[in-house]
Amino acid sequence: MDSKYIKELLSAVKNGEIEIDAALETLRNLPFSDLGYARVDHHRSLRKGFPEVVYCEGKELRQIEGIMQELIKSGENILLTRAGEDIYHVLEGWGLTVKYYREARLVMVEQREPAKSRGIILVITAGTADIPVAEEAALTAEVMGNTVERLYDVGVAGVHRLLAYRELLEKARVIVVVAGMEGALASVVGGLVGKPVIAVPTSVGYGASFGGLAALLAMLNSCASGIGVVNIDNGFGAGCLASSINQLAE
Amino acid sequence: MDSKYIKELLSAVKNGEIEIDAALETLRNLPFSDLGYARVDHHRSLRKGFPEVVYCEGKELRQIEGIMQELIKSGENILLTRAGEDIYHVLEGWGLTVKYYREARLVMVEQREPAKSRGIILVITAGTADIPVAEEAALTAEVMGNTVERLYDVGVAGVHRLLAYRELLEKARVIVVVAGMEGALASVVGGLVGKPVIAVPTSVGYGASFGGLAALLAMLNSCASGIGVVNIDNGFGAGCLASSINQLAE
Amino acid sequence: MDSKYIKELLSAVKNGEIEIDAALETLRNLPFSDLGYARVDHHRSLRKGFPEVVYCEGKELRQIEGIMQELIKSGENILLTRAGEDIYHVLEGWGLTVKYYREARLVMVEQREPAKSRGIILVITAGTADIPVAEEAALTAEVMGNTVERLYDVGVAGVHRLLAYRELLEKARVIVVVAGMEGALASVVGGLVGKPVIAVPTSVGYGASFGGLAALLAMLNSCASGIGVVNIDNGFGAGCLASSINQLAE
Amino acid sequence: MDSKYIKELLSAVKNGEIEIDAALETLRNLPFSDLGYARVDHHRSLRKGFPEVVYCEGKELRQIEGIMQELIKSGENILLTRAGEDIYHVLEGWGLTVKYYREARLVMVEQREPAKSRGIILVITAGTADIPVAEEAALTAEVMGNTVERLYDVGVAGVHRLLAYRELLEKARVIVVVAGMEGALASVVGGLVGKPVIAVPTSVGYGASFGGLAALLAMLNSCASGIGVVNIDNGFGAGCLASSINQLAE
Amino acid sequence: MDSKYIKELLSAVKNGEIEIDAALETLRNLPFSDLGYARVDHHRSLRKGFPEVVYCEGKELRQIEGIMQELIKSGENILLTRAGEDIYHVLEGWGLTVKYYREARLVMVEQREPAKSRGIILVITAGTADIPVAEEAALTAEVMGNTVERLYDVGVAGVHRLLAYRELLEKARVIVVVAGMEGALASVVGGLVGKPVIAVPTSVGYGASFGGLAALLAMLNSCASGIGVVNIDNGFGAGCLASSINQLAE
Amino acid sequence: MDSKYIKELLSAVKNGEIEIDAALETLRNLPFSDLGYARVDHHRSLRKGFPEVVYCEGKELRQIEGIMQELIKSGENILLTRAGEDIYHVLEGWGLTVKYYREARLVMVEQREPAKSRGIILVITAGTADIPVAEEAALTAEVMGNTVERLYDVGVAGVHRLLAYRELLEKARVIVVVAGMEGALASVVGGLVGKPVIAVPTSVGYGASFGGLAALLAMLNSCASGIGVVNIDNGFGAGCLASSINQLAE
Amino acid sequence: MDSKYIKELLSAVKNGEIEIDAALETLRNLPFSDLGYARVDHHRSLRKGFPEVVYCEGKELRQIEGIMQELIKSGENILLTRAGEDIYHVLEGWGLTVKYYREARLVMVEQREPAKSRGIILVITAGTADIPVAEEAALTAEVMGNTVERLYDVGVAGVHRLLAYRELLEKARVIVVVAGMEGALASVVGGLVGKPVIAVPTSVGYGASFGGLAALLAMLNSCASGIGVVNIDNGFGAGCLASSINQLAE
Amino acid sequence: MDSKYIKELLSAVKNGEIEIDAALETLRNLPFSDLGYARVDHHRSLRKGFPEVVYCEGKELRQIEGIMQELIKSGENILLTRAGEDIYHVLEGWGLTVKYYREARLVMVEQREPAKSRGIILVITAGTADIPVAEEAALTAEVMGNTVERLYDVGVAGVHRLLAYRELLEKARVIVVVAGMEGALASVVGGLVGKPVIAVPTSVGYGASFGGLAALLAMLNSCASGIGVVNIDNGFGAGCLASSINQLAE
């Protein structure tokens, strides 16, 4: 569905050739472009309240380029997750305002100033090695218009490190807890506060961590009620969920 | 116990209004009662914004009775999850206002009228067999002061059943999706809406569902971003999380 | 080798037209060539209705060459799966008509024009990263004489993308659904149509997808009845099964 | 959507108050009854070509009764799977023609004579203990209008038992292989024939069979291409898939 | 059915001593009886060197009775494994010489005196709770004509208990090691002797023994080479394998 | 080796008929009684510093009786774990001083006053449902001569409950942490103290706790170094290990 | 920070020796430095009795450098585990006394002479391939002030190799057993001695060792009571636990 | 224990300074050399009837060299498994008679002519990719003095390929079946013959073969009794076990 078609449709509305309701229906019905290998979903931004996001893992460079050529037409900010440095250089070459976060493997295309929410999303990590996943969550939330604060390396082996930051915990509206190994930080945070906690298990660890399974199971079995868990290393998903919660109260 | 309170305490020490030992005691003396086998946490209600909740599985009847004798002093509503009918009859015998939801194995002790939120929490199930878990979520949210609507048996094998209720999906502030077997309903709902979705895998299924593992993994791997997952059959946890999200925007 | 053939053989024995030892040999002599490291099965094409297929993973180049020298004698088309580019160049060097599909790691040796079925096999993917497996299925079905159509990137996170193609779903005789992550597309498609659906889980995903296990379990537990599942990433097997179903109705 | 509404709709069509196409659209859009705990899908029979089927596990007797009261209005045959003897007696008490297959836990409500296909579905088991699952498949296929033949206890530990029935294998249009333990029968059958094979792993076995996991994995990894696998003990699903394949060629 | 027999058959065909159809029948006619639900394999005894064995788990009493009516015609001894006491009483009622080993859930029908091998099979257990499985192995081997000795409760937590019996270990021709929990006994025995060791993991244990998985994995990973492992709790299989090894050297 | 033999041996030592070293050797070499089904290890008490312990699961009552008849000859205290009430009544009937701890399924036979260590073993639980396993640990340690203190229901969902008892944590020489669900308590305790911590995962929980697997993995992956983990629900093993550590410093 | 310290602080407040805000700060001010990406815990050394330890896996070189710049201020010895050779060269360049143990991937920064305990920690391996993990344990214990002896390659496949060293086993105060494959050495050692045994499963092995899972499960299920298990390949954790036990008795 | 010591011991025997029995005891007690990192077991050859074998995975080149310098003193043939080409070149450089089997990663040092058994060990593979593991088994058996025959690529997808070789199956004394994917070949072979069958699962396959787990489970659950299973890809262990069985009957 290219822009030519949308223009014609809007003309028909203007001229009274088509009812507004019918036009609305048409717009809602088929909002994607067919690239053969990918169907670009132009209305997701409206439907989900998200900027456009491209998950790059398993896609070839030329496919990502094709998708980006479609997406940049929207004028929205675009986030590329699990992105290599190559696509960053391509997009830079197109003259776009692009940032690359190497650790978090994120590329951000800024086509307009992102909003800043009043409510704060707090992103916490248990250790230093969890930071790349935490940054994926934090940057995702920021590109979606949220104010984010970070509190890193406050794992439960030294629980006083966390307790020292209780005021920060109180101030946040939503908390994202990122932890590998035994993932116990989610339970301790969840027990301290009465607000939504999103837990992100990471694959940090070895041996019987089984690639993050230990942390995942711990978070799912948390004795602190009211914790929502996302996939192992899924900082992006946590950022999305935190954003959709935070935006409810704006 | 925030820093303002500690400051006041320290001032009282300075002014000789309180003995050092008493201050020490207060500083240490945290808000719970010691029953030997259980430490009843009187401040959780304040700290977490929850009513009192007792998880009954694995506790003996006499232990639950002891805990309830402590808890009812608070005058708050109390929810007993995974509860047998025996404790219901005991509490009724004490002259309390008690309701028993057999399917969901919940006992509710009402000591005051629960609030009703403006925002709606929508609880959806894929099938009929998922209803007990969904009811655990719905009743938990209701006892925490939320308005809840239910939409049951709209699994993806007949996706038109779900699509027929899009307005209801739009109206809700938070959606809880309860599904066993392949758990695909969470992804479909998550793709349709831009609000927080909480997914509850259930142990409904057989064979390679491995007691809910199939649904759990599916929900964690959902291609629809922004879904928070709780433990298998954990309706209570979903209700808590939905409530804490919904209350943010009241 | 049906009983009619054995009867004729026994008659020939009775009539002295064939020696007992030769008959014994024939009875035992099954239709394959012995290369030491591989027994080439010349009759599989007849027995299974398939062209010859060579699974290349774990075989050394010289072994594949030896097998191909046997197989090309049949004059049939030959498909090499999980094939490297090296064997493609070798076969091309032999003067054969060869095509290489790099993404799907397939080599096709065409020794005669493949047939075109009246019935259509539709191959669908949830995402772009699933395409290599889908192409393995589609190309396998084509080399076996089937007409194939493709519908890629219609995952359930945007269920309207799929619903827009209902006519295509109706037109197909067999549908192959290729999906990684939570594999929910199989259930949604299975619920929409009353025809055979073959589900192929892919290893697309990360974390708790456990190399395709999440999608596999989801597909096996589908609430939509009548779905047959093949191994993770097994596009070839799906193509074979789709073909054998489609050929039944020609 | 009760019958009163359908009547009115049809009247409107008759009177020319509504276009046929519009009425068709309406009928297709919302074809289910809302019982609160279950949405009965009256059009599935048309959409999927199936009789009505009720999966009883995890449903309460009163819920199954409610669903049946809706379903029998269709005049179609109805199959109840994983059904207890209690619902059988209830339905018999309603004066319906009901049969109960205890081993397979199936209840069949016959409201009209089922069809008989020309093509044969052959159901094979490896052992005697696999028969209940096999019967679930066979009876499901029969109620869907297929001619079924059975070949039981021909496991690979005595491969000559199977080879003795090659003509029967040749005669069938679709073959359902039901096997527990190591599930090898699917591979041997799949290697002998060139037609669709549906494999049903069963939970027959002990120790490292892990409730059917061993057979499931074996079938998914079969070296014989063109085998579609269903869930452990899912005779019903195999019967559905076999039927949808068999009906293609009628 | 060796080639000599086929040659004779073909000669008979040539000489007109046998009709072609009869020869065809013979060639195809394999040595089993068809009971509908079970194919009794009369030649297995010859082919495998075993007495007849019936695995009773998952079979109904009436089915076992039917199978036994066929089997006793052979005049061979018959072993029923995983058998309930009910079938024992039935067979006793038929006037057969029957023994029941309750712990091992074995029924033995003796129709002739079993042989006694010169070579000794030694069956060892780690603990007392492993004895039922060990007895299944020992009794199976005895009914197959082997001399068996038993050495029970010599687990590695007191390795001196085992070392005190080194002469017995030396005397045996084949050793069956039955152990649950961590299954370490197999490695210690395997390191002490240079003869075939068969390891049987048992489901004795709890928690992280996962129903015998811990012992199974330990035995498969034994640092002592030359150990063959059978399924968890599969005393019967171990007895068979020990017998077939022991008989080689008689 | 009964006491008669030991007496004779000691006489021979007294009379100078045997060297002390040789007698010592003899005593160390074969210290067990052969009951056929169990080898009672009379010297374990000396070798391991333990009282006699009988693990009852999987043993028949008559077997436990036989073992006890041997063990009581030692005059030592005897602990029976995973014991039913039946054996308790039998032993009481023999006129022994016996105690039964129903929750922990322990029977204690006291033949002499147990010692009391100076050092304290502290046993902590996360919840009330973990108490039976904790009691198995505590009672085991007590029967082995240790002073034990208990601190129950101090799980991390209310970390202040634990912090209130820091002095108790400081006072203990060894700490046993018993926790199910996500098992996070072990990490928090391990981070607070510099002494040996023994972690016991319990099977308390449901769904993705997978029978204690979640807690087990969490404890093995603890970010707090210096934690030793025992099997799920293995209170006995934890009590033994705590005792052997505590006794080192007496 | 014990209550004596708090009392003094409160006295100081009362006496006006310290300002309320300062006291508040002190109460809250916990002993760590904030580097943004890591919170260096200066008091852990006191609290846990450990030297400083840095786990390097997943940390970037510049992060480790930053942490080291903080840590060396303490004047304590510092251990870097899972460390690459690059950080070793950096620290050497700073003029520190540094040793690198390549096999065990350990870097040791010596700022003062480590102590030597009277009690001996014995580290045993089953095979040669387990040595790197054993060295991680041994070196960790040594840097914490313990006397360590090593006994390598005494696996149970040749149990006489172990028995030859019984005197060494007797002499040690704590024993660390490091073993991969089936991990049986822990049980044999645990059965021989009455002192604390710490078992370290290693990932040595292949196939069904599943990266050390087989050894881990075996050790958790050991029939020898009183064994504490740490994570797969976690030599560091074993060294810490052994040290904390050994130091108790100094 | 070097040769100097053994010489002195033998001299003492000759001179009557030590009893033969005592010398025998001495020889049996401590038969290994201590290299620090490895204890070379010189008597294993006698005790187990094996040549010397060195498992090279995880050992450093210099360690293997040290072990080989000890082992070659025995004058026995030596087998190095999982060996790289580097050690082959080192040993060749020492002037030894060495062969390298690259596919099977085996190095053979021949110091004397291996024996040839009368009985035949038959090694069978399902596919071509299983050959390296099969060769490990075959070469191991050959170096241990056995006559080995090979039958490769006779998997069950074409069961006639196997049946054509029944005479070869009959002729063998022991059969080793090597198969990946679904591992069904072991069951079919086990059902055809009455002799010991050793099954070796291989990691050949992909997706849900989970690195050989599917084949392993299938073989453990084989419906053909009397099959001993070894670890995934453990050709060496299968060769050892086959040899120890075959040698029994020589």
pLDDT tens profile G38-96: 666 554 544 454 567 888 988 889 989 998 998 888 788 888 999 999 999 999 999 99
CA-based nearest residue in chain B for residue A236? B225
ipTM above 0.90, yes or no: no
Question: Cα distance from F240 to chain B (closest Cα, Å)?
Answer: 23
Q: Is the pLDDT of residue E24 over 90?
A: no
d(CA D222, CA E226): 29
| H32/B84: higher pLDDT | B84
Q: What is the H or E stretch that residue A18 is in?
A: none
3-state secondary structure A34-59: ECCCCEEECCHHHHHCCCEEEECCCC
Give whole-number Cα distances, H220 to E187, E200, E223, G60, H13, in Å. Answer: 19, 11, 20, 46, 51
Tell me which of B76-80, B109-113, D2-6, F121-125 is least confident: D2-6
D32–B129 C-beta distance less than 8 A:
no
Interface test with E, best of G125, G130, G154, G156 (most E CBs within 10 A): G156
Of C121-130, E129-138, F67-76, the poorest mean pLDDT is in F67-76
CB atoms A156 and F213 under 8 Å? no
Whether residue F232 has pLDDT greater than 90: yes
B154 contacts D39? CB cut-off 8 A: yes
CB-based contact (8 Å) between E213 and chain H? no
By the CB < 8 Å criterion, does E229 face chain H?
Answer: yes
Please state, rounded to an integer, the average pLDDT across all residues of chain B: 85
Does the beta-carbon distance from A37 to C131 stay under 8 Å?
yes
D130 touches chain H (CB under 8 A): no
Task: Please name the chains neighbouring B, where neighbouring means 3+ C-beta pairs under 8 angstroms.
Answer: A, C, D, F, G
Q: How far is D71 from chain B (nearest CA, A)?
A: 16
Q: Which residues of C touch A53 (CB under 8 A)?
A: none
Question: CB G196 to CB F243 under 8 A?
Answer: no
Domains in chain D, CATH or no CATH each: 29-110 (no CATH), 120-248 (3.40.50.1970)
| Helices and strands, number each (H, E), in chain A | 11, 11
pLDDT band at C181 (very low <50, low <70, confident <90, very high): very high
H149 touches chain C (CB under 8 A): no
Rounded distance between C-alpha atoms, residue E152 and residue F63, angstroms = 13
**Which of D156, D160, D163, D203 is most worth mutating to test chain H (most H CB atoms within 10 A of its CB)?**
D156
Nearest CA distance, A205 vs chain F (angstrom): 7
Q: Which two tokens stand for residue B218?
A: 């599916």
What residue in D sits closest to E40 (Cα-Cα)? D153
Mean pLDDT by 10 residues, chain D (250 residues): 45 60 47 57 51 83 89 85 93 94 89 88 94 94 93 84 84 96 93 92 94 95 91 95 93
- Binned at pLDDT 50, 70 and 90, residue C20 comes out as confident
Flag whether residue H240 sits within 8 Å of chain D, measured between CB atoms: no
Return the pLDDT at B89. 95
The better pLDDT of the pair H171, A113 is held by H171
Cα–Cα–Cα angle for C171, D172, D134, rounded to 5 degrees: 95
Q: D166: which chain C residues are within 8 Å (Cβ-Cβ)?
A: 2
**Which residues of chain A lie closer than 8 angstroms to B231, CB-CB?**
220-221
CB distance B233–F154 less than 8 Å? Answer: no
pTM confidence score: 0.86
User: Does residue E149 or residue A112 have the better pLDDT?
Assistant: E149
Least confident of C121-135, G28-42, H90-104: G28-42
**F236, F244, F247, F250: which to substitute to probe chain G, counting the most G Cβ within 10 Å?**
F244
> Rounded CA gap, E158 and H187, in Å?
38
**Residues from chain C contacting residue E3 (CB–CB below 8 Å):** 24, 28
Residue C43 has pLDDT above 50, yes or no: no
Residue of G nearest to B8 (CA): G20
| D175 strand-pairing partners | D122, D197
Cβ distance G218 to E218 less than 8 Å, yes or no, reads yes
Lowest average pLDDT, out of B132-141, B214-223, G71-80, goes to G71-80
G192–F230 CB contact, under 8 Å = no
**CB spacing of A182 vs F208 below 8 angstroms:** no
Token digits of residue H22: 């005592």
Percent of chain C scored above 70 by pLDDT? 85
Mutate to test the interface with G, among H1, H32, H34, H37 (most CBs of G within 10 A): H37
CA–CA distance, F208 with B216 (Å, rounded to integer): 8
H195 touches chain G (CB under 8 A): no
User: Chain B within 8 Å of D41 (Cβ-Cβ)?
Assistant: yes
Evaluate whether chains B and E are touching (3 or more beta carbon pairs less than 8 Å apart): no
Q: Does C195 touch chain D (CB under 8 A)?
A: yes
**Nearest chain E alpha carbon to H218:** E231
More confident residue, C38 or G17: G17
User: What is the reported pLDDT for B40?
Assistant: 60
- pLDDT of residue F1 exceeding 50, the answer is no
Which range is least confidently modeled, A73-77, B56-60, B186-190, F239-243? Answer: A73-77
pLDDT for res D31: 42
| Residues C165, C125: Cα–Cα separation, whole Å | 13
F32-45 confidence digits (pLDDT tens) = 455 666 665 554 54
Range in C226-230, E23-27, E133-137, F140-144 the model is least confident about = E23-27
pLDDT at C47: 46
Q: Which residue of H has its CA nearest to C40?
A: H153
Strands D98-101 and G227-229: unpaired
| G220–chain F Cβ distance below 8 A for any pair | yes
Give the model's pLDDT for residue B28: 46
Q: What is the pLDDT of residue C158?
A: 75
Q: Could you tell me which of F171, F108, F159, F183 has the C-alpha nearest to residue F138? A: F108
Burial class (CB in 10 A: 0-12, 13-18, 19+), D219: buried
Alpha carbon distances (Å) from E89 to C151, C164, E93, H22: 64, 67, 6, 59
What's the mean per-residue pLDDT of chain G? 85
Would the CB atoms of F184 and A181 count as touching at under 8 Å? no
Beta strands in chain A (DSSP E): 32-34, 39-41, 52-55, 78-81, 98-101, 106-109, 120-125, 147-151, 174-179, 197-201, 227-229
Look up residue C87 and give its two tokens: 């064997």
Question: Out of B36, B58, B212, whose CB is closest to F129?
Answer: B58
Write down which chains contact chain G via at least 3 CB pairs under 8 A: A, B, E, F, H
Q: Sort strands H98-101 and H78-81 into parallel, antiparallel or unpaired.
A: unpaired
Contacts of A221 in chain F (CB under 8 A): 181-182, 205, 207-209, 214-215
Nearest Cβ partner for B58 among F154, F204, F208: F204
pLDDT tens per residue, range A198-248? 999 999 999 999 999 999 999 999 988 889 999 999 999 999 999 999 999
Min Cα separation B104/chain D (Å): 13
Query: Could you read off the pLDDT of C65-106 as tens digits, one per residue?
Result: 998 998 888 788 888 999 999 999 999 999 999 999 988 899
CA-nearest residue to A132 within chain G is G58
d(CA G190, CA C48): 59
Q: Do H and C count as touching (3 or more CB pairs closer than 8 A)? A: yes
Q: Which residue of E has its CA nearest to G185?
A: E184
Q: Does G128 touch chain H (CB under 8 A)?
A: yes
CA distance F160 to chain B (A): 7
Mean pLDDT: which of C45-59, D156-170, F147-161 is highest? F147-161
Q: What is the model's pLDDT at position A55?
A: 87
Give the pLDDT score at G25.
57
Sign, CA dihedral C28-C29-C31-C36, equals: positive
Is the predicted pLDDT of residue G30 greater than 60, yes or no?
A: no
Residue E170, pLDDT above cutoff 80: yes
Distance from CA of A222 to the nearest CA of F (A): 5
Question: Could you read off the pLDDT of A137-149 as tens digits, one per residue?
Answer: 999 999 889 999 9
pLDDT one digit per residue (tens) for chain H, 250 residues = 333 444 455 556 556 676 555 554 454 443 445 566 666 655 454 445 456 788 898 888 998 998 898 888 878 888 899 999 999 999 999 999 999 998 889 999 988 887 889 999 999 999 989 999 999 999 999 988 899 999 999 888 777 778 878 889 989 999 999 999 999 999 999 988 889 999 999 999 999 999 999 999 999 999 888 899 999 999 999 999 999 999 998 8
Q: Test E233 with D207 for CB contact under 8 angstroms.
A: yes
CB pairs under 8 A between F and G: 101
Query: Which of G127, G153, G206 lies nearest to residue H233, judging by beta carbons?
Result: G206
- Determine the residue of chain E that is closest to H199 in CA distance: E228
- E4 part of contact set with chain C, CB < 8 Å: no
